[in-house]
Amino acid sequence: MPDPIDILIKSQQSALKLATDTLRTVRDTAVTGVTQPDELVRQVGDLAAAVAGMSTAVTGLAAATAQPLQDFIVRQRELADTVATLAEAQAELASVVSALADRHADAVSALEKVTAPVFAVVGTQPTPPKTRAAKKAAKK
């Protein structure tokens, strides 16, 4: 696939050359119209062809720059959709992990209730937890 920037530069150069040639022809036509009427008719035909060529160059320029830009926009939309899908999956995973943490906390509480009398009889002190949440709870 050709580089869009190269195509743009070449198209602009072609359009500039065509515009310069057209302006030169218009100037020459004004001079010729006074001195040689037959030549004027030929130059007007050439001018019409030059304008048609300029129209083709502008259309080519628009096509050369529009397609890569459109492709870029489509890829950005696809990226946005992918990121949104990832966010949804992470939200679902966070919900599952939160439910798992709640169930685990319930299991630990039940285990503490069952083992507390045994530890009291034996005379051991509870081991303080080393987690961040437990440290925060212990400070309160």
Q: What is the DSSP string of 9-28?
A: HHHHHHHHHHHHHHHHHHHH
Q: Is 61 exposed, middle or buried (0-12, 13-18, 19+ CB in 10 A)?
A: middle
pLDDT at residue number 98:
92
pLDDT at residue number 121:
82
pLDDT at residue number 140:
61
Q: What does the pLDDT profile of the chain (140 residues) look like in tens digits?
A: 567 677 767 777 776 677 677 667 666 666 655 566 666 666 666 666 766 666 666 666 666 666 777 788 888 888 888 889 988 999 999 999 999 999 998 998 898 888 888 887 888 877 777 777 666 666 66
3-state secondary structure of 137: helix
pLDDT at residue number 2:
63
Contact 57, 11 (CB under 8 A): yes
Between the alpha carbon of residue 64 and those of residues 25, 73, 77, 85, the distances in Å are 28, 15, 21, 33
Query: Around 9, how many Cα atoms within 13 Å sit in the side-chain half-sphere?
Result: 5
Contact 40, 32 (CB under 8 A): yes
Rounded CA gap, 79 and 7, in Å?
Answer: 27
